[in-house]
Amino acid sequence: MRIDVGVATDIGRVREVNEDSYLVDAPLYAVADGMGGHRGGDVASSLALEIVEAAFREGKGSLADQVREANRAVHSRSEADQAVSGMGTTLTAVMVEDATARFAHVGDSRAYLLRAGDLRQVTNDHTLVARMVRAGEITPEEAAVHPHRNVVTRVIGTEETVAVDEDTLPLLDGDRLLLCSDGLTGMVAEDQIQAILEAEPDPQRAADRMVKAANRAGGIDNITVLVLDALSEDGDPPPGQLPSPSRWPSLKRLIAGAVIAVVVIVAVLFGVRAYVDRQWYVGESDGKVAVFQGIPAHPLGITLADVDTQTEIAAADVVAIEVYRDLPDGISAENRADAFAIVEQMRADVTDAASPGTGDGGGNGGGAA
């Protein structure tokens, strides 16, 4: 499975510093939204992602273990350096390998999955309002405008240890993942996010459009967006050339299926032809007895026989003799010589019938069985 990535980050229209950071280092992708006075937030988010990346490269445990290591590093720095004391960051990371997405998550940045027209939030927000929604105290609509909607209940770096949410998701060809900071989701409604993700096949342009939408809506926070397209490896088109890249592989399968079907049909027809060409029968052509190569059948109106030899014997005279009454339907023969033997028998029988009492061959159907 191949991942096509689009990424955009923007300071927004109100903040003086962009404290968001992102990581794109296949197969690892992450966003982090830092917080803390001065430059603390900036330091927290970038340091956390550096540590996750390094721990991943060193193969240290699971993705959640790597996030916990980032927590320890940010916390230590915060303790050691008065200038960044109390800093923290959200961290939403995904590692994509073998068509499986493994998530590790702390805070209120989000991961979404767009699959088959359905946009689903993969992560749970670690916020006061999300907790209130889960407890049934407020509705999601009330949470979106709640005065304490920005209160984050779990972050990287403020405590010595942190609980990391983990999730695993099998990916399908055409799946689109979105990682983003709350500068997007706080400004742009989910149905609008989904509309952009569905309208823009190119992941980079989709990311850029979402940042633009957040800024148009006010841009009161830093905005960071990662769009990850999961595509099967077998020759997908370059992004942006077709209205829906996710449909393309299934179209290819359809074409491949059609080609196989045609090959099978042709093979069957060749087999039928070879069989037909070995068959012989005696039948009627233009009112005369004739030897045919093929079979006396017309499936779907297709003629499966050719006249080999037409005789001068009137078909009506032959059919008048009881044993040959099936002549119009074809009297089968073993081979060409056998077909001619049947014809000679017919000729003799017709002659006998025309001059009764001159012989004893009448009624003998020969090879007419």
Give the burial string for 139-151 (b: 16+ CB within 10 Å, else e): eeeebeebeebee
Q: Say whether residue 42 binds Mg ion (CB under 5 A).
A: no
Q: How far is the CB of 213 from Mg ion (least distance, A)?
A: 16
Residue carrying structure tokens 């962009």: 18
User: Does 33 participate in binding Mg ion (rule CB under 5 A)?
Assistant: yes
Asked if 125 is part of the footprint of Mg ion (rule: CB under 5 A), the reply reads no
CB 222, min distance to Mg ion, A:
6
Beta carbon of residue 35, minimum distance to Mg ion (angstroms, whole number): 7
Give the range of 29-37, 42-50, 65-73, 353-361 binding Mg ion by CB under 5 A: 29-37
Phi, psi of 115 (to 5 degrees): -140, 125
- Residue 21 pairs in a beta bridge with 32
Other CB atoms within a 10 A radius of the CB of residue 269 amount to 12
**Is 284 among the residues that bind Mg ion (CB under 5 A)?**
no
SS (H, E, C) 159-184: CCCCCCEEEEEECCCCCEEEEECHHH
Total of residues contacting Mg ion (CB under 5 A): 5
Positions 152 through 211 that interact with Mg ion (CB under 5 A): 181-183
Contact criterion met (CB below 8 Å) for 49 and 70:
yes
Q: Which 3 state secondary structure label does DSSP give 84?
A: helix
Exposed e or buried b per residue across 332-353, where buried means at least 16 C-beta atoms within 10 angstroms of its C-beta: bbeeeebbbbbbebbbebbebe
In the complex, minimum distance from the CB of residue 182 to Mg ion, in angstroms, rounded to a whole number: 4
Which lies closer to Mg ion via its Cβ, residue 213 or residue 321? Answer: 213
CA distance 349 to 319: 11
Nearer to Mg ion, 33 or 200 (CB): 33
> Among residues 28 and 214, whose Cβ is nearest to Mg ion?
214
Nearer to Mg ion (CB atom), residue 44 or residue 318: 44
Chain position whose Cβ is nearest to Mg ion: 33
**CA dist., res. 170 & res. 28, Å (int):** 16
221 sits near Mg ion (criterion: CB under 5 A): yes
Closest contact distance (angstroms) between CB of 100 and Mg ion is 29
Does 108 bind Mg ion (CB under 5 A)? Our answer is no
Tokens of 266: 């042709």
Residue with smaller CB distance to Mg ion, 64 or 223: 223
**Minimal distance in Å, beta carbon 28 to Mg ion?**
21
* Nearest distance, CB of residue 221 and Mg ion, angstroms: 4
**Residues near Mg ion (CB under 5 A):** 33, 181-183, 221
